[in-house]
Chain A
Amino acid sequence: MRHLLLIVLPLLVIFALLPGVYQNHLLLFNFVIFLVLAQGVNIIYGFTGYLPFGYVGFFGAGAYGFAITVMHYHASAPMAVLVAGAVGVALGLFLSPLLRLSGAYFAIANMAAALAVLHFVANPALEDITRGPYGVSLTGTFNPTLAYAAALIVLALTMGIVVFLKNSSFGLALQAVREDPVSASMAGVNVVRMRVIAWLASALVAGLAGGVYAWYVSVFFPDNVFSSDFSIFAIVFALFGGVATITGPIIGVVALYGVYNLIGFTTPQYFQLIYGLLIMVLVLFLPAGLVSLATRRGWRVP
C-alpha cells in the first residue's frame, strides 16, 4: 500500500501531467512504453531469473493483435488493446515449454522464438491477414491522446503487479524458485506453476504495451514492432537500475533512456561509446544495478 502511494501514484501523476508542459509527446509515450517493458522484464527476470532476450515477441504479437482486431473485426481501440494482451498471454502459453531450459539456452531459444513470430507475421503469404511485410496503417483509430492515457493504465497495471510481487509471499516464493528450485519445492512451492504464472504476467504486460503502441503510432512494419532494440533496451534499463525491486527499473529507464535521448539526438557518434562504456562499468562493478549502491549499505530499497 505504501509502495503504491509513494512510488506508483507519483510516477503516474508525473507522466499524466508532463504532456501539458513538455512538447515531445512521442518521447513521453516511449518513456511510458519502456517503463512497462522494463518492469515486464523485471517480473520475469528479477523474480524468476529467466532472461527474456526475445521479450519483444510479446510486444510485436500484441501490436499485430491490435492491428488485426481493428482491421478485420472493426473493434474499438480499447477492445483491441485487451485482445493484444490476450495475444501476449496466448503466445506466452505456447512458449511456456521454453521454461524447461535454463540460463543462456532459455535466452537464445526465446530470441529465436521472437524471430520466428516476426517471420510468421511478415510472411507475404499472410498478406490478407497481417499485410505481411507491407506493414499496417490504422488511421481509423489514430488518437495519440487516448493511446497515451491507455499506456498510463497499462503502466499502472504493470506497477501494480510488481508491487504485489515485492510485498506478497507469492513474490517471495518466486524469488525462492529463482534462488534454488529444489529447496523451493521442499518449501511446498509448485515450481513449474509459479514460473508459468510469472512468465504469463510478463507476457501480458508486453502484449498490452504492444497494443497501445500500435494504437499510438498507427502505421508500422513488422520490423518496427519486432525490433530487438525493444528487448535489449528493456533488459539493459531493468538491469541498470536493479531488478527484483520496484524502483530499480524506473531509475534505469529514466536515467538511461534520458541519456540516450540527450546524447543520441545531439551527438549520435558519442552515444554508442558512452552507452557501451556505461554498460561495461555496470556489469563489472554493479552487477545488481544502481540500487545495490544502497542495498550494500544495508538500506532496504523498495
Chain B
Amino acid sequence: MSLSLTSLLHVTGLVKRFGGFHALDGLSFHAAAGEILGLVGPNGSGKTTSINVISGLYAPDGGNVTLDGVSIGGIASHKLVHLGVNRTFQIPKPFLSLTVRENIAVALAYGRAQVAPPTAEALMDEYRLTEVADRPASELNNAQQKMLDLVRALATRPRLLLLDELAAGLNPTELDWISARIKALAQTGMAIIVVEHLMGFIEQITDRVIVMNAGKEIFEGKLAVAVKVPQVIEVFLGGEHAA
C-alpha cells in the first residue's frame, strides 16, 4: 500500500496485558500525516488503551510503535510530547486549581514545540475559552474542560494527535464546529486519530476507519464499507453501541 510508505505512525502487533487479560492483542494499523483516522469499536475493545500505549502512559508488552520510522514504544510521555505526540483524555484532565491561561502556559513552556506554537490568546480565542481565561479550570463545564484538554495538547504542536471521545457530550452545533476545527488541523499536516462512538461524526470527518474488537483490528477502510461487513455488524450489534 502506497499510503503506508508515507505513514507517520505505524503500530504493529501491539500487545498490552493487565494481569492475564489482553487489552491489546496484536493490534496493527498506521496513520499518515494530514489524515484523520477513526478508531471505533465497542466499549472495552481497547481504544483508550491503544492511545495510552501510543502516548507513553503504558509501555507495550509486545509489538512495535514507530513514529517517522523511529521506534517509540515504551518511551516516557514527556519525551513523546517533545517528539510530537499528544492526546486528549476521555475524561478531561486539566490542572484544576490553575487558571485556563496557566494550564496553557505550562504546555507552552514545557512542550518544546519544534515549530513555534500559537499563542495562548490565539488558542483560547479559537477554542472559545477567552471568557474563562482567568478562571480556575475547576469552574469550567465539561465541554470547556475538553477544549482546554485539546488546547493543552495543541500548545505542544503535535504531529500526531490522539483524540479520545472528544465529541461525546457536545450538542449538534458544537459537533459541527469541532469537526471543522479538526479538519482544519489535519490540513496543516497533523495526523489525527479520532476515537468516537457517534457514527455520524466519524462519517463526517474521517478519511478511513479502523474497527477494533477485543484488542485487535477487525476492519480497515471506509466507514461506509465497514457497516456492510458481517463481522463488524455482529460486533456492534452484540455490543452496547449499534452503528
Contact = CB atoms under 8 A, between A and B. Distances in A.
B157 to A, nearest CB: 10
B78 A189 contact: yes
Contacts, number: 75
A186 interface: yes
9 contacts: A169-B106, A175-B97, A176-B106, A180-B93, A183-B94, A186-B86, A186-B152, A187-B106, A189-B78
B95 A186 contact: no
A179 B96 CA distance: 7
Interface string A80-112: 000000000000000000000000000000000
A183 B55 CA distance: 11
B205 interface: no
Contacts of A176: 95, 98, 103, 106
A183 B86 CA distance: 10
A271 B102 CA distance: 42
B105 A172 contact: yes
Contacts of A187: 81, 106-107, 110-111, 152, 155-156
Interface residues of A, number: 17
B83 to A, nearest CB: 10
A256 to B, nearest CB: 24
Nearest to B96: A179
B106 to A, nearest CB: 5
A261 interface: no
Contacts of A172: 98, 102, 105-106, 109
Contacts of A179: 95-98
Nearest to B57: A182
B77 interface: yes
Interface in A174-195: 175-176, 179-180, 182-191
Contacts of A169: 105-106, 109-110
Interface string A193-208: 0000000000000000
Q: Give the top 10 A-B pairs by smallest Cβ distance, nearest first.
A: A169-B109, A188-B110, A179-B95, A185-B77, A187-B107, A188-B111, A188-B81, A183-B93, A176-B106, A185-B78
Interface in A25-40: none
Contacts of A190: 76, 78
B106 A184 contact: yes
Contacts of B197: none
A187 B106 CA distance: 7
Nearest to A174: B106
Given A180-B93, A183-B93, A186-B86, A173 B78 contact: no
B201 interface: no
B110 A180 contact: no
A184 B78 CA distance: 8
> In the complex, which of the residues B57, B105, B106 has the most CB atoms of chain A within 10 Å of its own CB atom?
B106
B208 interface: no
B57 A189 contact: no
A175 B97 CA distance: 9
A184 B156 contact: no
Given A169-B106, A172-B105, A188 B78 contact: yes
Contacts of B96: 179-180
B109 A183 contact: no
Contacts of A184: 95, 106
A190 B81 CA distance: 10
Given A176-B106, A183-B89, A187-B156, 6 more contacts: A172-B102, A172-B105, A172-B106, A182-B93, A185-B78, A186-B55
Contacts of B102: 172, 175
B112 interface: yes
A185 B76 CA distance: 8
A45 B142 CA distance: 29
A189 B98 CA distance: 16
Nearest to A244: B97
B82 interface: yes
B153 interface: yes
Contacts of A175: 95, 97-98, 102
B87 interface: yes
A182 B56 CA distance: 10
